[in-house]
Amino acid sequence: MPFLSKGCLGLLDDVEFLQEFHLFAQDLHLFHSESACRRELQFEKGKVNMEITVQSEELASEKLSEAHVTQAVKAIRVDGYVILENVINHEHLDILRERMDADSQILIKAGKWGGAGQLKGHLQQGPPPFAPYIFRDIVANPYVIQVTKALLGPGLYNNFYNGNTNCPGSTTQPLHRDGAHLWPDQEVAHPTAEVVVNISPQDTMEENGSVELWPGSHLDVSGRQIDEAHEEARRKIAPPIRGTAKKGSALIRDLRLWHRGVPNPSDETRHMIAMIHRVRWLRSNRRLKYRTGCEAAFENSELDHNAEFIDEMKKNDYLFNPKF
Ligand SMILES: O=C(O)CCC(=O)C(=O)O
């Protein structure tokens, strides 16, 4: 069983850990100076674009400009999310969408509702972890990794490859975060240590149930449960927006950002692949399983894919028994 990992899983010695933690602490300082500017940034909102369209020169060199990296990192730190547009080949997305549509029907037929609250109409649905459905511009997108590396530092690794499908007739999920703050009872939030990378194989918008996002809520240091009073108080500060994104985009969001699935009024399923990039020193016992034959998509990447390639995979196991 070959592994594709540079050894992220808790193998740091103490000195290395302290050095990295020191860098994180420096980041914390920078982060709070930036948070202090949050009001001004909101005031200037028209000028602070949460959506970055990757330009032809950047595509040619497979590298974002420094200005775009800075803008993306700042957007995630301050508002909790950014959308990189024009970074994924549409043909790849079409191939994936066709297969994922068919997979949704299998889960729907089995009544296997999932995601937050396990409500009817929402599926916890991962993309097929084998060729020909693994694409480098999805699992190892260089523009996404440039941003997540700038945010999380070298040695970052992926800890998730699954997703959420919002089906026609779905209802509203409970408002939630995908992960808590690393330390409980903080007075101020720590910098981003994990981000979710969401990629949809189609345009996402209100009309097909794009995810609801609550800007800036990743900095809210209250507990994991979000009750109605808290929701209403937050709405007055910064109301939710929708994760509207063109096909070919990647939405990168702080794991702590409040969000939820809302009704999909269309007659088509809306898929949303999810990966989770983590700072190197967060431990994980999980290795992500892919079937042998798709290794090339993961090679020469600055992201540690934390991947294990296996010869045998039971039919539909990735749909019914994803191991988180
Ligand atoms: O599908 C969506 O729009 C959001 C799903 C979600 O956040 C969840 O199930 O945890």
Instruction: Decide if 1 is inside a domain.
Output: no
2 found inside a domain: no
Pocket-testing residue among 104, 206, 260, 271, ligand 1, by greatest number of atoms within 8 A of Cβ? 260
Of the candidates 324, 296, 297, 316, the residue with the CA atom closest to the CA atom of residue 99: 316
Query: Regarding predicted confidence, which is higher, 231 or 1?
Result: 231
Q: Mean pLDDT score of the chain, rounded to an integer?
A: 89
For residue 39, pLDDT over 80 is answered with: no
Residue with token string 């980041």: 27
Categorize the per-residue pLDDT at 49 as very low, low, confident or very high, splitting at 50, 70 and 90. Answer: low
Beta pairing partners, 271 = 165
Residue 235 binned pLDDT confidence (cut-offs 50, 70, 90): very high
Q: Is the pLDDT of residue 222 over 90?
A: no
pLDDT at 281 over 60: yes
Domain count, the chain: 1
Answer yes or no: is the C-beta of 119 below 6 A from any ligand 1 atom: no
Counting every residue written for the chain, the total comes to 324
pLDDT of residue 121: 98
Q: Does the pLDDT of residue 321 top 60, yes or no?
A: yes
Q: How far is ligand 1, taken at its centre, from the CA of residue 210, in Å? A: 9
Query: Does 208 map to a domain?
Result: yes
Q: Which atom of ligand 1 is nearest to the CA of 115?
A: 9
Question: What separation in Å is there between the alpha carbon of 228 and the centre of ligand 1?
Answer: 18
* CA pair distance 258, 175, nearest whole angstrom: 6
pLDDT at 43 over 70: no
Helix (H) or strand (E) holding 39: helix 38-43
Average pLDDT value for residue range 223-240: 91
pLDDT band at 250; cut points 50, 70, 90 = very high
Contacts for 47 with CB less than 8 Å, ≥ 6 apart: none
**Domain boundaries, position 41:** 7-320
Q: Determine the pLDDT at residue 7.
A: 33
What CATH code is carried by the domain that includes residue 245? 2.60.120.620
Q: What is the pLDDT of residues 144-199, one digit of tens each?
A: 999 999 999 999 999 999 999 999 999 999 999 999 999 988 999 999 999 999 99
* Ligand 1 mutation pick, 259, 268, 269, 276, max ligand atoms within 8 A of CB: 259
Q: How far is the CA of 165 from the centre of ligand 1 (A)?
A: 8
pLDDT band at 223 (very low <50, low <70, confident <90, very high): confident
Catalogue the E-assigned strands of the chain: 3-4, 51-53, 81-85, 122-124, 157-166, 194-199, 212-213, 241-242, 250-254, 259-260, 270-278, 288-291, 307-310
